[in-house]
């Protein structure tokens, strides 16, 4: 859906706001390079697979993790989710399907395609971070960052609308997901399977998250704590020059709550004076089904700015944040929420230190069951530039996408986590179809980034609220 800004400078401004914040907090460890496809094609292996099995869930992990995943397989099968664990080494060796692909990420994607065609899988769980499982870097350059970022949507979007394999390299130059001033790959983007990732870095983390998933699905049903949702937000953007003074984080979370009518709603908002590190901790430790934080973030902190202020220091001073160093104070046990962070880069998992989103999931004896956030910077609408009386932060960009999560769960009654993720992306693309003729810094380019970066750290086949 097209819309025009009244004030052209707006686009530049809201991008810069986020940019300044990121520079301020620093992301110096980010050192990704343009990753080109490996032109060599290994010797083709002979596909050994001759069976007629069907599966619902495909788990892909390196060999070193596969034995620890066996209890998860047994648990899934018990609940009728037909599951297969495939080791990366088996993919490369062509154990089930003849190996295809220009580089390891594409080999994995072809494997997923074959599993989709032959086994009719619906969910794919990647177990391993960027060091353990190859990732696809997308080379979209919006003129502000110019850095490639990771997109797991790549692994979910296996067919284009003509029914062809979608390799995310339509111009065929071995550089994926390009969108800069010169080169462009036209992408389908619509997910065909539901993807989730547990970016585990070692066997201990695999063990922790497997136990958490089993515990969640076995023990959550019928529990009162699940019927709670905690939201937090404050002032996010400087919108006064557009004639408004919205507390964007409050407006976005309030809109999400409209779809969560059967839940007891806890609003931690700066305008209420109740948003603090301590209140976030207390409300999560009580047990809650969902947590939605809308504000600024990077890979180590989420922060909301006090009303009427735009300052990270004010946010720190007023303790309206939740940072990596606060995670060890969570002791919510097996009362595990799905956490959504609407700010930038909370799930940027290609850094030397573990990111905010993963810290939440890999926390033992508490934390989250899953986290959804972005692998790089994101965008929000600012002001009411389309003059329809509705704040643009809930109508466009990241605010809109995150609200769809709650709409699809709360109103559409989709209760499988990966399906909520996939449907929300699908809805976003339907509402804002990408106009591939547009250039750098266009709204379409931003919309493309938002869906590419929105990642699920968790089991895509997770039954929200557990099995009854």
Q: Which of these ranges, 4-12, 125-133, 182-190, 421-429, lies near Ca ion under the rule CB under 5 A? A: 182-190
Taking only Cα atoms into account, the Rg of the chain, rounded to an integer number of angstroms, comes to 21
Residues 152-181 that bind Ca ion (CB under 5 A): 157, 159, 169, 171, 173, 175, 178
Burial label, 8 (beta-carbon count in 10 A; 0-12, 13-18, 19+) = exposed
Cβ contacts of residue 324 below 8 Å, gap of 6+?
300, 301, 353, 354, 356, 359
Helix H or strand E segment including 292? strand 290-294
Smallest separation (angstroms) from Ca ion to the CB of 382 = 8
Burial label, 215 (beta-carbon count in 10 A; 0-12, 13-18, 19+) = middle
- CB closer to Ca ion, 334 vs 392: 392
- CB closer to Ca ion, 111 vs 246: 246
Write the CA distances from 422 to 152, 351, 368, 433, integer angstroms: 12, 26, 20, 16
Smallest separation (angstroms) from Ca ion to the CB of 118 = 18
Beta strand residue intervals within 164-270, DSSP E: 194-198, 228-233, 264-269
- For 57, the token pair is 């869930």
Whether 465 contacts 417, CB under 8 Å: no
Residues 304-343 that bind Ca ion (CB under 5 A): none
DSSP state, residue 295: S
- CB closer to Ca ion, 27 vs 297: 297
DSSP state, residue 38: P
Write the CA distances from 406 to 347, 361, 401, integer angstroms: 19, 20, 9
- CB closer to Ca ion, 188 vs 283: 188
34 belongs to the binding site for Ca ion (CB under 5 A): no
Q: Which of residues 56, 255, 354, 392 is near Ca ion by CB under 5 A? A: 392
- CB closer to Ca ion, 360 vs 400: 400
Q: Which residues pair with 293 in a beta bridge?
A: 232, 341
Among left, alpha and beta (phi > 0; psi -120 to 50; other), residue 303 is beta
Q: Which of these ranges, 27-35, 51-59, 229-237, 419-427, lies near Ca ion under the rule CB under 5 A? A: 229-237
In the block, tokens 């069976």 appear at 51
- CB closer to Ca ion, 206 vs 275: 275
From CA 291, how far away is CA 282, in angstroms rounded?
A: 12
Smallest separation (angstroms) from Ca ion to the CB of 108 = 16
Smallest separation (angstroms) from Ca ion to the CB of 219 = 36
427 belongs to the binding site for Ca ion (CB under 5 A): no
Strand 290-294 to 228-233 pairing: parallel
Show the site string, 240-279: x = touches Ca ion by CB under 5 A, - = not. Answer: ------x---------------------------------
Residues 192-221 that bind Ca ion (CB under 5 A): 192
Helix axes 248-257, 397-406, angle to 10 degrees: 30
Q: Which of these ranges, 76-84, 105-113, 149-157, 275-283, lies near Ca ion under the rule CB under 5 A? A: 149-157
Residues 46-75 that bind Ca ion (CB under 5 A): none
Strand 194-198 to 228-233 pairing: unpaired
- CB closer to Ca ion, 352 vs 437: 437
- CB closer to Ca ion, 109 vs 359: 109
Q: Which of residues 132, 185, 205, 354 is near Ca ion by CB under 5 A? A: 185
117 belongs to the binding site for Ca ion (CB under 5 A): no
Whether 247 contacts 277, CB under 8 Å: no
Smallest separation (angstroms) from Ca ion to the CB of 178 = 4
380 belongs to the binding site for Ca ion (CB under 5 A): no
Smallest separation (angstroms) from Ca ion to the CB of 188 = 4
- CB closer to Ca ion, 65 vs 379: 379
Smallest separation (angstroms) from Ca ion to the CB of 361 = 27
Site size for Ca ion (CB under 5 A):
20
Q: Which of residues 188, 334, 380, 443 is near Ca ion by CB under 5 A? A: 188
- For 306, the token pair is 């006090």
Smallest separation (angstroms) from Ca ion to the CB of 248 = 5
Q: Which of residues 111, 149, 190, 457 is near Ca ion by CB under 5 A? A: 190
- For 120, the token pair is 């009719």
Whether 283 contacts 330, CB under 8 Å: no
Name the phi and psi angles at 372, rounded to 5: -115, 130
- CB closer to Ca ion, 106 vs 157: 157
Q: Which of these ranges, 14-22, 287-295, 342-350, 391-399, lies near Ca ion under the rule CB under 5 A? A: 391-399
From CA 447, how far away is CA 468, in angstroms rounded?
A: 38
- CB closer to Ca ion, 20 vs 390: 390
Residues that bind Ca ion (CB under 5 A): 157, 159, 169, 171, 173, 175, 178, 185, 188, 190, 192, 235, 237, 239, 246, 384, 386, 388, 390, 392
């Amino acid at each position: 859906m097209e819309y025009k800004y009244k004030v052209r400078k707006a686009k530049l401004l809201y991008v810069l706001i986020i940019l300044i914040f990121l520079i301020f907090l620093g992301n110096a460890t980010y050192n990704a390079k343009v990753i080109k496809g490996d032109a060599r094609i290994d010797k083709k292996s002979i596909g050994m697979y001759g069976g007629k099995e069907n599966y619902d869930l495909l788990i892909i992990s390196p060999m070193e993790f596969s034995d620890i995943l066996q209890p998860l397989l047994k648990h899934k099968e018990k609940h009728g989710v037909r599951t297969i664990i495939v080791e990366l080494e088996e993919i490369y060796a062509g154990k089930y399907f003849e190996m295809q692909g220009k580089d390891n990420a594409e080999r994995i994607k072809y494997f997923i395609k074959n599993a989709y065609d032959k086994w009719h899988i619906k969910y794919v769980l990647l177990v391993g971070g960027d060091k353990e499982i190859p990732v696809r870097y997308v080379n979209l350059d919006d003129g502000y960052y110019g850095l490639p970022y990771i997109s797991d949507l790549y692994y979910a979007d296996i067919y284009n609308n003509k029914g062809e394999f979608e390799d995310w390299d339509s111009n065929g130059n071995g550089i994926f997901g390009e969108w800069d001033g010169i080169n462009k790959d036209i992408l389908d983007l619509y997910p065909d399977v539901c993807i989730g990732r547990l970016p585990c870095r070692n066997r201990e983390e695999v063990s922790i998250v497997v136990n958490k998933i089993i515990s969640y699905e076995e023990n959550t049903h019928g529990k009162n704590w699940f019927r709670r949702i905690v939201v937090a937000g404050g002032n996010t953007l400087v919108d006064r020059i557009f004639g408004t003074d919205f507390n964007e984080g409050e407006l976005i979370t309030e809109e999400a709550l409209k779809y969560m009518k059967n839940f007891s709603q806890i609003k931690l908002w700066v305008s209420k004076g109740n948003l603090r590190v301590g209140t976030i901790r207390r409300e999560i430790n009580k047990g809650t089904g969902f947590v939605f934080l809308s504000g600024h973030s990077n890979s180590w902190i989420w922060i909301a700015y006090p009303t009427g202020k735009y300052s990270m220091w004010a946010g720190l001073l007023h303790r309206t944040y939740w940072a990596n160093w606060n995670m060890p104070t969570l002791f919510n046990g097996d009362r595990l929420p799905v956490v959504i962070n609407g700010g930038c880069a909370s799930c940027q998992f290609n850094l030397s230190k573990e990111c905010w989103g993963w810290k939440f999931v890999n926390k033992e004896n508490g934390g989250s069951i899953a986290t959804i956030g972005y692998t790089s910077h994101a965008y929000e609408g600012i002001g009411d530039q389309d003059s329809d009386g509705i704040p643009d932060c809930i109508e466009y960009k990241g605010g809109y996408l995150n609200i769809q999560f709650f709409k699809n769960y709360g109103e559409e009654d989709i209760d499988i986590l990966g399906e909520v993720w996939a449907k929300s992306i699908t809805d976003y693309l339907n509402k804002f179809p990408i106009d591939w003729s547009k250039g750098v810094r266009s709204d379409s380019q931003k919309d493309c980034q938002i869906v590419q970066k929105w990642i699920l750290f968790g089991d895509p086949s997770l039954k929200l609220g557990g099995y009854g």
